[in-house]
Amino acid sequence: MTAFFHGVESFFGHFAAIHWQFLALAVVCQLVRTAAVSRAWFNILRASYPRQRFRWRGIYGAYAAGVGVNAIIPARVGDVAKLYIARRRVPDSTYTTLASTQVALTVFDFALAGILLLWALAAGVLPGLSVLPSLPDGNWFLQHYKLMLNILLVILVAILVGLVLAAHRIQDFRQRVAQGFAVFRDRSRYFGGVAFWQAWDWTLRFVAIYFFLRAFGIPASAHNALLVQVTQSLTTVFPFTPGGAGTEQALIVYVLGGEASRSSLIAFAVGMKLTVLIVNVGIGFAAIAIMLKTLHWRRAAEADRAAEAGREPAPAGETPRA
């Protein structure tokens, strides 16, 4: 994080050289791709709950809220907010099925991100494990990657054990999980209503990166856009800082080394991150405020939980008492 804030200083040092028209186009791409992903999720939910009536704008708000929270809080906390709001918008929905629909939404992303990663490894553009600790502006994760990979393994094992235990204790657990993957039973529905919108999402990602490169005076090409996208995919896998701050910037400086000066690359990496963060936080918390009538979504969730348990719910602006 220290390296990231040093990068912010470099960004403001290049502030006057920014091409604002390209930055504005990148922001438009970011907004449109958010809508595209939410549309894909909406279609997955419609397949899981065919008898329920709900609107796309409610699912868009839930997705935007999750993106906004994830932008400032690490470890995918925003996914909890996303599921909470979606459960309020989809009648008779369960967290188990909603979480399963989120997994279904990642299938396309994992497949395409895996292809890009294999391409990057084959092309030799990514740093080896022995190089990670010495990367420019390398952060704590890069210097202790083995420890963090072990922690990830422990988390994954704990999740698997929890799922196994839940499967034994809850009779309809498997049915609820399967319900979240209902869209895969109809190939035409999946490719036409989910993969189609996610393909637009990835297209807009590349276009946005291209405009970001142009905005900060970095040589813009399909190759460089692909390299930046690979670094973003990698930092998504390791969400130990908000939005992968620090890790992503270090990797961008490495993979684009030679394309521009180190200070220009840092300004580009940090400027892109700050722009996306501001956009995501803006639309995310606007969605929370509109849909929940408060920015304290955790307190609202606790109030709802208290009401479901038969207790007197506390107001959304106050912490409920046990």
More confident residue, 300 or 199: 199
Whether 135 shows a pLDDT value over 90: the answer reads no
pLDDT at 3 over 60: no
Question: pLDDT tens digit string along 17-76?
Answer: 789 999 999 999 999 999 999 999 999 999 999 999 999 999 999 999 999 988 887 667
Q: Give the containing element (helix H, strand E) for 199.
A: helix 196-215
Higher per-residue pLDDT: 176 or 183: 183
The proportion of the chain whose per-residue pLDDT surpasses 90, expressed as a percent, equals 39
Pair 156, 148: CB distance under 8 Å: no
Report pLDDT for 175.
85
Cα-Cα end-to-end distance for the chain: 37
CA 221/CA 211 separation, integer angstroms: 10
On the question of pLDDT at 317 being above 80, the answer is no
Say what the pLDDT of residue 107 is: 92
Q: What is the mean pLDDT of residues 111-135?
A: 72
Mean pLDDT of 105-118: 89
What whole-number distance in Å separates Cα of residue 196 and Cα of residue 5?
38
Does position 111 have pLDDT exceeding 80, yes or no?
yes
Report the distance separating Cα 132 and Cα 149, nearest Å.
13
What pLDDT score does 313 carry? 45
List, for residues 181-232, the tens digit of each pLDDT value: 999 999 999 999 999 999 999 999 999 999 999 999 999 999 999 999 988 8
Model pTM? 0.77
Q: Region 118-134: what's the mean pLDDT?
A: 67
Q: Is the pLDDT of residue 239 over 60?
A: no
CA distance linking residue 12 with residue 166, whole number of Å: 50
- Count the neighbouring beta carbons within 10 Å of the beta carbon of residue 73: 15
Non-local (6+) Cβ contacts of 145 within 8 A are: 129, 132, 133
C-alpha closest to that of 105 among 63, 54, 153 = 63
Q: List % helix, strand, coil for the chain (3-state, nearest 5).
A: 75, 0, 25
d(CA 289, CA 283): 10
DSSP output for 145-178: HHHHHHHHHHHHHHHHHHHHHHHHH-TTHHHHHH
Picking from 260, 278, 272, the residue whose alpha carbon sits closest to that of residue 18 is 272
In percent, the amount of the chain with pLDDT more than 70 equals 69
In the predicted model, is pLDDT for residue 322 greater than 60? Answer: no
Contacts (Cβ under 8 Å, ≥6 apart) of 168: none
Amino acid 320: pLDDT: 42
| Domain range annotation of the chain | 2-43+53-89+104-140+194-308
- At 87, the pLDDT band (50, 70, 90 cuts) reads very high
- The pLDDT assigned to 257 comes to 81
CA gap 187, 143 in Å, rounded:
44
Q: What is the rounded distance in angstroms from the CA atom of residue 128 to the CA atom of residue 141?
A: 15
* Interacting residues of 221 by C-beta distance below 8 A, sequence separation 6+: none
Amino acid at 41: W
